[in-house]
């Protein structure tokens, strides 16, 4: 057993899905970087919502509407507290990270002009590349890339060289979903602010492993998806500094986001409602709050320590397989291992692993530029959560060995 204060077997009982079989084999779920599993404590909150107080929020005077509104706003406060955000109206509910990034990228259209520069890291998820390319197309701003080295770390000297008074925005993920690299966002934020640029950090991959203190980071925008941290799909948050959120135009028009509407002129609602047009994922928001309660109940320090032990163990064991190469060997990593076996296509390994009940991701992981950098079509990615075990790592290693023997 690994040295951990966590009682993993008891924790696993909160996740009935971990007890199922796939192709007659016990499920080994190692695709946590794509989405995490949802504990009963969160599922029960979802069921309770639909059993007892499903209603539209911020509108009705009736009791159910009041109860739903209260629960939704309590969830917003839980999220505020968790990420140490100064004001609850700086928490904008979104459908997830992609939505949050698009909201900011669209909002910046009127702030940028031809020749302005936008910096983006070389290890971004497509959702943190494409919206900025679209923004540059609309405005004539120039997209520049902060390069990475072969270990999968950003080359920070190059970053500082790229910064200038033309830099208006910098975008970077906190943790790379394809490589697991934890980026030095403190230094990135500080550098950008020195030249007067705003910074958006994509926290989608980090939030399940690192409890970010957004006030201490002094970041301008931070995005999270609930489904990567024990919550449901289709909900997340955008944090924005109040001053930025007041300056940005609304993203979508509709109900909820207005103060007054006539056909001549509409005035917008105050934060956060200005950015929350239409009926939101009410139940999802409430469940996101429950997911944070659940993870904080286990404790982020204990989670990080245990996942790091799993990462070290899995890295060592996988590297004992001849011909196996790991992509992303940064000093600071979360529990993501991207690898290939020489002469074998990642997709074939993934297919055989699935037959053995082992769920991994194969492909470019929505980060094609990283694959181009390594000149590979994709990788096999195993990503571990606090509910995974050392025995599951052993099964992965045995499965990869078996796949290798079958394919070579
Ligand atoms: C998952 C992920 C996204 C996209 O999140 P969605 O929930 O699909 O919007 C963006 N960036 C990173 C780093 C991710 O891991």
Per-residue pLDDT reduced to its tens digit, 318-353: 999 999 999 999 999 999 999 999 999 999 999 999
Question: What is the average pLDDT across 203-219?
Answer: 98
Q: Is the pLDDT of residue 224 over 90?
A: yes
Place of tokens 């394919």: 407
Beta strand ranges found along 210-369 (DSSP E)? 221-225, 236-240, 258-261, 266-268, 324-327, 336-341, 358-359, 361-363
Q: Using a 6 Å cutoff on CB, does residue 202 contact ligand 1? A: yes
Instruction: State the closest ligand 1 atom to the C-alpha of 98, by its place in the atom list counted from 1.
Output: 9
Centre of ligand 1 to C-alpha 300, Å, is 20
* pLDDT at residue 257, rounded to an integer: 87
> What does the pLDDT average to over 137-159?
97
| Average pLDDT value over all residues in the chain | 96
Task: Calculate mean pLDDT across residues 39-43.
Answer: 98
Catalytic residue positions? 366
Q: Separation of 142 CA from ligand 1 center, angstroms?
A: 24
Is the shortest distance between the CB of 124 and ligand 1 below 6 Å? no
Q: What percent of the chain has pLDDT over 90?
A: 91
For residue 405, what are the contacts with CB-CB under 8 A and spacing of at least 6?
none
Strand positions, DSSP E, 181-319: 198-202, 221-225, 236-240, 258-261, 266-268
Which of 99, 100, 127, 361, when mutated, tests ligand 1's pocket best, judged by the most ligand atoms within 8 Å of its CB?
127
Q: Does residue 226 have its Cβ closer than 6 Å to ligand 1?
A: no
The CATH 3.40.640.10 portion of the chain extends over 43-296
| Distance (Å) from CA 203 to ligand 1 centroid | 8
pLDDT value for 63: 96
CA of 208 to the centre of ligand 1 (A): 12
What is the tens place of the pLDDT at every residue in 236-283?
999 999 999 999 999 988 888 888 888 888 888 999 999 999 999 999
Ligand 1 proximity of 173 Cβ (cutoff 6 Å): yes
Alpha helices in 152-208 (DSSP H): 156-162, 185-194
Distance (angstroms) between ligand 1 centre and the Cα of 171 equals 14
- For the chain, residues classed under CATH 3.90.1150.10 are 8-30+299-407
Q: Which CATH class is domain 8-30+299-407?
A: alpha beta
pTM of the entire predicted model: 0.97
Q: What would the mean pLDDT of 4-9 be, rounded to a whole number? A: 90
Query: 43-296 domain in CATH 3.10.129.10?
Result: no
Going by C-beta distance under 8 Å and a sequence separation of 6 or more, which residues neighbour residue 238? 92, 94, 99, 100, 103, 104, 221, 222, 223, 275
Ligand 1 mutation pick, 204, 328, 334, max ligand atoms within 8 A of CB: 204
Structure confidence by residue, pLDDT tens digits, 285-321: 999 999 999 999 999 999 999 999 999 999 999 999 9
Residue 1 is predicted with a pLDDT of 53
Query: Of all helices (H) and strands (E), which one includes residue 119?
Result: strand 117-121
Lowest mean pLDDT among 161-165, 198-202, 294-298, 371-375: 371-375
Beta bridge partners of 381: 338, 361
Cβ of 177 closer than 6 Å to ligand 1, yes or no, is: yes
Which of 33, 98, 223 to probe ligand 1 with, by most ligand atoms within 8 A of CB? 98
Q: Is 209 in the pocket of ligand 1 (CB under 6 A)?
A: no
Rounded distance, CA 127 to CA 122, Å?
13
Q: Is the shortest distance between the CB of 162 and ligand 1 below 6 Å?
A: no
Q: What span, in angstroms and rounded, lies between the C-alpha atoms of 271 and 279?
A: 16
Nearest residue (CA) to ligand 1, atom 5 = 97
Query: Is the pLDDT assigned to residue 83 strictly greater than 70?
Result: yes
Res. 2 pLDDT band, cuts 50 70 90: low
Residue 100 CB–ligand 1 contact under 6 Å: no
Tell me if 326 sits within 8 A of 318, measured CB to CB.
Answer: yes
Two structure tokens written together for 90: 């700086």
């Amino acid at each position: 057993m690994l040295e951990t204060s966590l009682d993993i077997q008891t924790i696993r009982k909160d996740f009935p899905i971990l007890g199922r079989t796939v192709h007659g084999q016990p499920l080994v779920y190692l695709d946590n970087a794509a989405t995490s599993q949802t504990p009963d404590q969160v599922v029960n909150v979802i069921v309770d919502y639909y059993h007892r107080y499903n209603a539209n929020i911020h509108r009705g005077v009736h009791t159910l509407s009041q109860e739903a509104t209260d629960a939704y706003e309590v969830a917003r406060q839980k999220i505020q507290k968790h990420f140490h955000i100064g004001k609850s109206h700086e928490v904008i509910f979104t459908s997830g990270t992609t939505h949050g990034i698009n909201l900011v990228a669209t909002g910046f259209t009127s702030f940028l002009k031809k020749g302005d520069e936008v910096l983006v890291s070389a290890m971004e998820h497509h959702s943190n590349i494409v919206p900025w390319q679209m923004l540059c197309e609309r405005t004539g701003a120039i997209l520049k890339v902060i390069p990475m080295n072969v270990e999968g770390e950003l080359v920070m000297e190059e970053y500082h060289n790229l910064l200038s008074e033309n830099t208006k925005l910098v975008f970077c993920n906190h943790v790379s979903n394809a490589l697991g690299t934890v980026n030095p966002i403190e230094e990135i934020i500080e550098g950008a602010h020195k030249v007067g640029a705003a910074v958006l950090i994509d926290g989608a991959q980090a939030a399940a492993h690192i409890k970010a203190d957004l006030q201490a980071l002094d970041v301008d925008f931070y995005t999270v998806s609930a489904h990567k941290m024990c919550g449901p799909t289709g909900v997340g948050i955008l944090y924005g500094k109040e001053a930025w959120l007041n300056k940005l135009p609304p993203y979508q028009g509709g109900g909820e986001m207005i103060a007054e509407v006539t056909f001549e002129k509409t005035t917008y609602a105050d934060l956060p409602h200005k950015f929350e047009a239409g009926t939101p994922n009410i139940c999802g928001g409430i469940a996101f709050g429950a997911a944070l309660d659940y993870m904080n109940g286990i404790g982020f320090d204990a989670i990080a320590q245990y996942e790091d032990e799993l990462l070290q163990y899995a890295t060592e064991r996988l590297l004992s397989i001849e011909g196996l190469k790991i992509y992303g060997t940064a000093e600071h990593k979360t529990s993501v291992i991207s690898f290939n076996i020489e002469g074998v296509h990642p997709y074939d390994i993934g297919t055989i692993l699935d037959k053995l009940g082992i769920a991994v991701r194969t492909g470019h992981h929505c980060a094609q530029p990283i694959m181009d950098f390594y000149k590979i079509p994709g990788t096999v990615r195993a990503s571990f959560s606090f509910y995974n075990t050392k025995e599951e790592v052993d099964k992965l290693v045995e499965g990869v060995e078996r796949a290798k023997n079958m394919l070579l």
